[in-house]
Amino acid sequence: MSPMPTRAAMTVPLLDLKAQYADILTDLDDAVRRVMESTRFIGGPEITALEEEIARYSQCAHAVACASGTDALLLSMWALDIGPGDEVITSAYSFFASAGTVVNNGATPVFVDIDPRTFNLDAHKLEAAFTSRTKAVMVVHLYGQCCDMTAVRAICHKRKVWLIEDAAQAIGSEWEGSRAGSMSDFGCFSFFPSKNLGAAGDGGMVVSQNAEFAERVRLLREHGARPKYHHAVVGTNSRLDALQAAILRVKLRHLDRWSEGRAKNATLYDRLFEGSSVTRPARDARARHIYNQYVIRAPKRDALKAHLAERGIGTEVYYPIPLHLQKCFASLGYKPGDMPHSEAAARETLALPIYPELTEETSTSSGPRSATRSRPISPSAALEPRSTTRFRSTYRSASPRSVTSPGTCRTRKPPRARRWRFRSTRSSRRSRFAMSHHPFGSS
Ligand SMILES: Cc1ncc(COP(=O)(O)O)c(C=O)c1O
């Protein structure tokens, strides 16, 4: 058996950020230079402009930049006074931060199994997870597809609990025409480099339709200082820096084009896997999927992963252990078998390269190759030997192109302060957490 290629030797990596950089190099370099020359590294016009652009792009009235997607979740729950004694219902199958931030806030995560077709929290199982201590539901729009927000919103409305969207993987995705982040009390985005809109480091954003909620997050991310050096509440430092904001503003102009490129590759994969033993990811007809990941199910997943790695194709398992079985949550009392669909997903899922610079190339047009150039290998061909289609990672030159400006995104529903009746924070308060930590916890 040939040795496993090193990361550098990957012919088709899981993600190729160098190809993205080559595509927008001039604009990115200009943006970085602009910030360096301004020396406004913290706060300032780049942050304000990015917040406005992301709010508009996400059909939200307000956006508050912060240090990471994790902090976006943390600050949202903090602003809603979620703490000890409270339960937050979330998906059993997600990145760790979806549950870790609940615990960081002093509350308890309660897990709900996923819909095996979409990998998102199964709305039919949501009501059974409610107790008298349920304070919020945090849905996760996994891999870039919104969960059933119609059903989830109706339940949260009926039960009068907060609703948070963990949209870390889903910026620009939609549910029945509404953008991820716009359908709840708080939407949370991550700008981790591998996201569809990725920074050159960490970054995050909280969006909301509610001015007061957004202001709470703004206050908490700046040590609760209003005005400077006057602290009525204790917050933290969770700022996005201006260099990241400037980079993200350049990338935001290309986001729709990139997400469409990902969706195009997904359609191609779907076609190539037709009739194979691989289970393709389901697209809900009510959703716009932005394919942060294209995740298949394969019965012999680990063998397939090794097989593809040998052929230079990068893949990843998101995620090998469901949240309810993580060691750190053992005290919650979950056991294997409690969330069968999440557990099956952890055994079977495999993310394939889907990035927009990955393009189709028919084997007939591939022609002779230079000996020094790495040979494109088709992930689908490795899975399905009969396939004649190959993928190629291309470095596009920085040529003029049609760009969808963030300001021109379809805004089907104008932002409103509230989409449904929320429970008032004041009426729901229980004084159970150190006031120094939870600024909004006392009447
Ligand atoms: C679903 C989900 N939630 C939260 C996060 C946390 O975001 P960050 O890495 O920016 O802190 C991530 C990041 O991967 C994520 O995928």
Q: Taking 50 as the threshold, does the pLDDT of residue 213 lie above it? A: yes
Give residue 144's pLDDT band: very low, low, confident or very high (50, 70, 90).
very high
Q: Is 187 in the pocket of ligand 1 (CB under 6 A)?
A: no
Which sequence spans correspond to the domains of the chain?
7-16+255-393, 23-252+407-428
The tokens describing 175, both together, are 């549910």
**What's the 371 CA to ligand 1 centre distance in angstroms?**
40
* Per-residue pLDDT tens digits for 332-374: 999 999 999 999 999 999 999 999 999 876 322 333 232 223 3
Q: May I ask the CATH architecture of the domain 23-252+407-428?
A: 3-Layer(aba) Sandwich (3.40)
Centre of ligand 1 from the C-alpha of residue 70, in Å: 6
- Determine if ligand 1 sits within 6 Å of the CB of residue 204: yes
**190 C-alpha vs ligand 1 centroid, how far in Å?**
6
The DSSP-derived string for 271-329 is HHTTTSSSBPPP--TTEE---S-EEEE-TTHHHHHHHHHHTTB--B-S-SS-GGG-GGG
SS (H, E, C) 139-168: EECHHHCCCCHHHHHHHHHHHCCEEEEECC
Superfamily holding 7-16+255-393: Aspartate Aminotransferase, domain 1 (3.90.1150.10)
Give the Å distance between the CA of 133 and the centre of ligand 1.
Answer: 26
- Between CA 408 and CA 395 the distance in angstroms is 27
Among 68, 70, 121, the mutation site with the greatest number of ligand 1 atoms within 8 A of its Cβ is 70
Q: Is 143 in the pocket of ligand 1 (CB under 6 A)?
A: no
Q: Output the residue whose Cα is nearest ligand 1's atom 7.
A: 69
393-412: b (≥16 Cβ within 10 Å) or e: beeeeeeeeeebebeebeee
94 within ligand 1 shell (Cβ under 6 A): yes
Per-residue pLDDT at 110 exceeds 60 = yes
> Is any atom of ligand 1 closer than 6 Å to the C-beta of 80?
no
Closest-lying ligand 1 atom to the alpha carbon of residue 192: 10
Residue nearest to atom 12 of ligand 1 (CA): 168
Q: Give how far Cα 152 sits from Cα of 126, 223, 288, Å.
A: 8, 33, 17
From ligand 1's centre to the CA of 400, what distance in Å? 33
pLDDT tens per residue, range 85-98:
999 999 999 999 99
How much is the pLDDT for 359? 83
pLDDT for 181-204, tens place per residue?
999 999 999 999 999 999 999 999
Which residue shows structure tokens 């609940």?
102
Instruction: Measure the CA–CA gap between 369 and 200, rounded to whole angstroms.
Output: 33
> CA 258 to CA 290: how far, in whole Å?
9
Task: Flag whether the pTM goes above 0.75.
Answer: yes
**Which runs of consecutive H residues, i.e. helices, occur in 12-122?**
17-38, 45-57, 69-79, 97-104
Percentage of the residues of the chain whose pLDDT score is greater than 90: 78
Instruction: Check pocket membership of 72 for ligand 1, CB cut-off 6 A.
Output: no
CB distance 101 to ligand 1 below 6 Å: no
